[in-house]
Amino acid sequence: MRMNVNNISNTAILNKEEGTDIRKQLGNLSSSQWAWALSIFWYPYMLFEPVATLTLKRFSPNIWMSRIMFTWGIVSMCQAATHNYSGILACCFFLGMAEAGFFPGVLYHLSFWYPAHRLPLRVAFLYACGMFAGTLFIIEGILPTICSAYTYFCLPGYPQTVDFLSEDECAAILADLPQQAPTMRAKTFDTDQVKSLFKSATFFPFLMIWTTHGIGGWGISFVLPTVIYELGISNTAVSQVLTVPPFALVFLILMSLAYFIHHGYLSHWVAGLGVEGIQIICYILLINVKQPVAKYIFVMIATAASQSFFAIIWPERIRVAKGTTTAGLAIGMTNASGQLMGIVGPQIYQPKFGPTYRISYACSIALLAMCLGAVLSTWHFVRKGDAKGMTMQETEDGVLVA
Domain ranges in the chain?
3-386
What pLDDT score was predicted for residue 141?
52
Rounded CA separation 216/212 (Å): 6
Judge whether 4 and 95 are in contact, CB under 8 Å.
yes
Rounded CA separation 324/183 (Å): 6
Torsion sign over Cα 132, 72, 305, 222: positive
| Helix and strand element counts for the chain (H, E) | 20, 0
Name, in order, each residue with C-beta under 8 angstroms of 396's C-beta and a sequence gap of 6 or more.
none
Burial of 328-356, coded b for 16+ CB within 10 Å and e otherwise, reads bbbbbbbbbbbbbbbbbbbbbbbbebbee
pLDDT tens, per residue, the chain with 402 residues: 444 455 555 555 554 555 556 666 676 777 778 778 778 888 888 888 888 888 888 888 888 888 988 888 888 888 777 778 888 888 889 988 888 888 888 888 888 888 888 888 888 888 777 665 544 444 455 666 677 776 777 788 778 878 888 888 888 888 887 776 677 667 777 788 888 888 889 999 999 999 999 999 877 776 576 667 666 665 666 666 777 788 788 888 989 999 999 888 999 999 999 999 999 999 999 899 888 788 888 888 998 898 899 999 999 999 998 888 888 889 999 998 988 887 888 788 877 887 778 898 999 999 999 999 999 999 999 998 887 765 444 444 444 433
What pLDDT score was predicted for residue 395?
43
Angle between helices 61-78 and 137-154 (to 10 degrees): 160
Query: With respect to CATH, is domain 3-386 assigned 1.20.1250.20?
Result: yes
Judge whether 258 and 121 are in contact, CB under 8 Å.
yes
Name, in order, each residue with C-beta under 8 angstroms of 5's C-beta and a sequence gap of 6 or more.
41, 133, 342
What pLDDT score was predicted for residue 390?
55
Q: How many beta carbons lie within 10 A of that of residue 190, not counting itself?
A: 15
